[in-house]
Amino acid sequence: MRYELDQFSPAAVGAAAERIAPLAVRTPLVRLEHDGPVDIWLKLENLQPIRSFKIRGAANAMLAIGAEGLERGVWSASAGNMAQGVAYCARELGVPCTVVVPEGAPDAKLRAIRRFGADIVEASFRDWFRIYETREYPGMKGHFIHAFSDPAVMAGNATIGREIIDDGPEFDAAVVPYGGGGLSCGIAALLRQLAPGTAVHAAEVDTAAPLAAAFAAGEPVAIDHQRTFVDGIGGPVLFAEMWDFASRVLDGALVSSVEEIRQAIRQLAARNAVVAEGAGAAAVAPALAGRVTTSDGKPARRVVCVISGGNIDRRILADILGEASA
């Protein structure tokens, strides 16, 4: 599969926005209160009904299928947030849902999946990860909703970019978490067409940064992958179709340490009362450090960061907030 910009035209994204309006929230865009020289804005996807942007792509993909296509239900593979998005939408649409999760998925996300009425199947990390390539798993019935590599999912994600353009000032750069690539590539595809002067950077954590490694090498390469509480982004490999598109629409990847992301979580909570999970705070960390640049490599002075979700385990959050204040 090869993605092109015209799949995410303003008209296509506008249609997605209308389609998902009954299920997803138009989230606010607010300034981060901080003392640095960069004007940082936050797109608060943690305020969605499932506390994650994933509801947008899930809703668009499922509503585009139509009632007949959903008769046998839906299933997905997700570490948590896409599972919640699919489960929430399935509940609202009255269709059965099953999600395959990796062993050791965060308790906070598993509880939410169950709360939305979905069945959960646990798999080894290796078997779970392979679903993104094969789109198959034994015993699954119904329509498979891919977490990121699906044009309908990406168009739903791109509605975030449309709202940023409509609601905010002109930005030098946008920073978007990179997990599978459906969020950052969807937003970047739209901004390339409507705000070409805005650089779009992916955000990664240094324990799992395959995109940064691929940009450095000019192709996907093997990396050392370590699982941390920053579980919503990163992985051992890039998917070929996503790398092809990411290399064309993104300006690069900004990598932060786990500690920098912990600091960003503390600052978001202390200054703006924003609860962000690790992936969401990963977009803010490089902006606070002054590492975000414009398309021509100059320091960015006005940056928008997508807070992709707020589904952080309460014990982890308590531990982070119990450290030195922001």
Q: How far is CA 320 from the centre of its chain?
A: 22
Could you report the per-residue pLDDT of 102-116, keeping only the tens digit for each? 888 777 778 888 999
pLDDT at 72 over 70: yes
Confidence of residue 48 (pLDDT cuts 50, 70, 90): very high
pLDDT at 325 over 70: no
Percent over 90 (pLDDT), the chain: 80
The answer to whether the CB of 116 falls within 8 A of the CB of 87 is yes
Q: What average pLDDT does this structure show over 305-323?
A: 92
Give CA torsion, residues 257, 107, 318, 147, to 10 deg. Answer: 40
Give me the pLDDT at residue 225, please.
81
The ranges of the chain annotated as CATH 3.40.50.1100 are 5-51+151-321, 55-145
User: Tokens 């997990």 appear where?
Assistant: 179
Give me the pLDDT at residue 15, please.
97
Which DSSP category does 312 fall into?
-
Say which range, 30-39, 53-62, 217-226, 297-306, has the weakest mean pLDDT. 217-226
Percent over 70 (pLDDT), the chain: 99
- Top CATH class, 5-51+151-321: alpha beta
Query: Can you name the CATH fold of 55-145?
Result: Rossmann fold (3.40.50)
At residue 27, φ and ψ (nearest 5 deg) are: -85, 155
- Mean pLDDT of the chain, nearest integer: 93
Could you report the per-residue pLDDT of 219-256, keeping only the tens digit for each? 999 888 888 888 778 877 888 889 999 999 999 999 99
User: Three-state SS for 80?
Assistant: coil
Could you report the per-residue pLDDT of 127-142, keeping only the tens digit for each? 998 999 899 999 999 9
- Where do the H-state alpha helices sit in the chain? 10-20, 54-65, 81-93, 107-115, 125-134, 151-167, 182-194, 210-217, 240-249, 258-272, 278-282, 285-288, 314-321
Tell me the three-class secondary structure of 215-273, residue by residue: HHHCCCCCCCCCCCCCCCCCCCCCCHHHHHHHHHHCCEEEEECHHHHHHHHHHHHHHHC
Residue type, 85: G
Give dist(CA 285, CA 48) in Å, integer: 22
Q: How far is CA 37 from the centre of its chain?
A: 26
Give me the pLDDT at residue 234, please.
80
Which DSSP category does 204 fall into?
E
pLDDT at 4 over 70: yes
Give me the pLDDT at residue 326, please.
46
Say which range, 40-54, 188-202, 232-246, has the weakest mean pLDDT. 232-246
Give me the pLDDT at residue 324, please.
57
Give dist(CA 228, CA 278) in Å, integer: 9
At residue 173, φ and ψ (nearest 5 deg) are: -155, 155
At residue 304, φ and ψ (nearest 5 deg) are: -110, 130
